[in-house]
Amino acid sequence: MQVLSPGIKMLNMRPTTTEFEWIEVPDVKEKFGVPPELIPDYLGLSGDTSDNIPGVPGIGPKTAKKLLEEYGSLEKVLENVDRIPGRIGELLKKHKKQAEESKYLAVLKLDVPVQVKIEDLKRREVDKEKLIRVFQELEFYSLLKELSGEGEKVEFEEVEELPELEGETISVIPCVKDGWVYGFSVSSGVKNYLVRRKKPVPSASFYVLEDAKNTAWALEWEIPEKFFDIALADYLLHPLRTDHSVERIALEMRGVVLSPSSNSFYPGKAYYAVKLWKEVEKRLEEEGLLELYYKIELPLVRVLFAMEKHGIMIDADFFRELSRMLERELEGLEKEIFGLAGLRFNIRSPKQLSEVLFKHMGLPPVKKTKTGYSTDSEVLAKLAEKYEIARLLLSFRELDKLRSTYIDVLPTLVNPETGRIHASFNQMVTATGRLSSSNPNLQNIPIKGDLGKEIRKGFIAPPGKLIISADYSQIELRILAHVSSDENLIRAFKEGRDIHSNTASLVFGLPPEEITHDMRRKAKVVNFGIVYGMSPYGLSKELGIDVHEAERFIKNYFSAFPGVEKWIREIVKFAKERGYVRTLFGRKREIPELRSPQRQVREYGERIAINTPIQGTAADIIKLAMVNLHRRFEKEKMKSAMVLQIHDELVFEVPEEEREKAKKIIKEEMENAVELKVPLEVEIGEGRNWYEAH
């Protein structure tokens, strides 16, 4: 607006609408109270959050207008600051430099050398194909949808019985509307069909599927021997995305929008899936992901499907009794909290809790939010150092969350036909390649603590069987030793030393027999903190020490393990130069955070660069072990079954007569999944329930 003059006007979109309006000089004066040439002065005082112009805190539009009416410019306002009384004068003195910088930010640069002529800016016919390519390259998918058409018109035939498709490559896509499966569409790329029933799915020599596991569930079908999962391939190519659908792939690769319009049996998805899969496969090859896809990810689909079908048995009565016990414990905590507070209130209400702690009880606030003083777990943990009520509130929240998330929910998830819980294992969610689970989310069951142990007791084996748990021991530190080639770390693992005591011995410069429990604890935090790119500040918070001591600790660690320091430096440099990192198996993760103008975001990107090759490689190894174990059980015609995967642990349901054979095979396949510079070790336990085995 500052450039408006009698010969220049501005076309502006009205706020919250799609309508446009012309703005001229009198309109600026009417809206802001100042002429166009004083807009930078006005913003220097009042600021503009949309353009990150801070202005002077505490001075709003009315005050800015009044000051400029009286003094004529920001410079004159600041020259006369001693004559401006009260709070406004103090604010201007305090933030003088910020006001000047804000005006500088607001002033438009009018002497920029312009390389185009006015004729070049005239509106002309859009080169649609060229623009689609630009939008594809820049990943402007919402604009692509607006620009693109429906693509090729897909002719289809609705049939009761499909023709013979044996020997053909076909795509089969479930037709879903409002969560209901109404049938499926089939395409060979030449002929397209719609079938208004779930099964049987036609026989073919090769299938192109979108999320093969969910397709099999939707169509009550077994995953075929030969198939290509186009969504899974897209996940490897774009692990930061959440949408790996055929619609998204077709939009990106062909610039077409697939939408069913009024017809829920739209055949376009099947058609484009079979048309594009070879191109997607070629991209996997170009990105160095083909072996990872065919060796690990694709065969894992069948393993996860088998695990979901098998499920795991729980003792529903045990969880109901545990819930009643927790109810009594929560009531007891509630009474103690009310007693310390001196009144009753809703503990689960952050607003009420904030008022009780900081207004009624007068506890010192730690962190403020838009709605008031925070009562999050970080705040309560800080307060718990001095105040008993905060410690009790943390206990209450932990018990209440576990009860509502797991203990009360698990019995409701039991399938009445099988008597088991059939969790979903999600292969296309995490950026590192780790699996996640839902219904229930087993990854968040606490490993430590009495309640985590109690929850595990409820996962049981049926009569005649037992639960076997196999857990990789310190797999991420072993991977760190491998990728860093650090001699001290490699030697410690090869000689079977206690890795945390070994680290403490090197860092503190003491013989192993003089290492205390506290020293070992600190070394353990540093060992795992290094894997996650922990900063001195993060380490200081974790260990309860000052930042300088944490810096000294990390410096001593790198002196003891110079190979680790060198690898960290090199992997961060690689990530900054290339924009991505890879695991040992070639899994690729881009790190856009490294390009952020914000320092904290860039530092977070550096931590991702350090952690992803390690955590991602650990994920690849356990996935490969799962694939190998599944094949081995099938080859040996065993009844043992993998039932859960949590972090670095695999859980099995094993007939008692297969106990020793299963343990031997599990240990063999997991420890020999890959050859590293240090041995992989697996700890195996067994019992009637998961807790006993774990």
Q: What is the CATH number of domain 10-106?
A: 1.10.150.20
Question: Class of the 314-420 domain?
Answer: mainly alpha
CATH superfamily of 157-287: Ribonuclease H-like superfamily/Ribonuclease H (3.30.420.10)
Helix (H) / strand (E) containing 133: helix 128-138
Lookup: tokens for 297: 């990810």
Residue in the block written with tokens 């009495």: 450
According to the model, what pLDDT value does residue 263 have?
A: 43
Report DSSP state, residue 200. Answer: P
This prediction's pTM: 0.80
According to the model, what pLDDT value does residue 265 have?
A: 52
Report DSSP state, residue 111. Answer: -
According to the model, what pLDDT value does residue 663 have?
A: 98
Lookup: tokens for 45: 């005082």
According to the model, what pLDDT value does residue 614 have?
A: 96
Query: pLDDT digits over 80-124, tens only?
Result: 999 999 999 999 999 999 999 999 999 998 888 888 888 888 888
As a whole number of angstroms, the distance between CA 491 and CA 500 comes to: 13
According to the model, what pLDDT value does residue 264 have?
A: 44
15 vs 47, 224, 383, CA distance in Å? 19, 54, 44
Task: Please state, as a whole number, how many other Cβ atoms lie within 10 Å of the Cβ of residue 205.
Answer: 13
Helix, strand, coil percent values for the chain (each to nearest 5)? 55, 15, 35
Lookup: tokens for 363: 């506890």
Residue in the block written with tokens 């410079």: 75
Same fold: 10-106 with 157-287: no
Strand pairing category for 424-426 and 420-421: unpaired
According to the model, what pLDDT value does residue 262 have?
A: 37
As a whole number of angstroms, the distance between CA 290 and CA 294 comes to: 6
According to the model, what pLDDT value does residue 392 have?
A: 96
Nearest to 46 by CA among 621, 450, 34, 193: 34
Phi-psi region of 449 (alpha: psi -120 to 50; beta: other; left: phi over 0): left
Q: Pick out the chain residues at pLDDT < 50.
A: 261-264
According to the model, what pLDDT value does residue 150 have?
A: 54
- The DSSP secondary structure of 620-683, one letter per residue, reads HHHHHHHHHHHHHHHHTT---EEEEEETTEEEEEEEGGGHHHHHHHHHHHHHTSS--SS---EE
CATH superfamily of 483-606: 5' to 3' exonuclease, C-terminal subdomain (1.10.150.20)
Angle between the 599-635 and 517-531 helix axes, to the nearest 10 degrees?
90
Nearest to 187 by CA among 103, 94, 121, 267: 267
Residue spans of the domains in the chain: they are 10-106, 157-287, 314-420, 483-606
As a whole number of angstroms, the distance between CA 330 and CA 395 comes to: 9
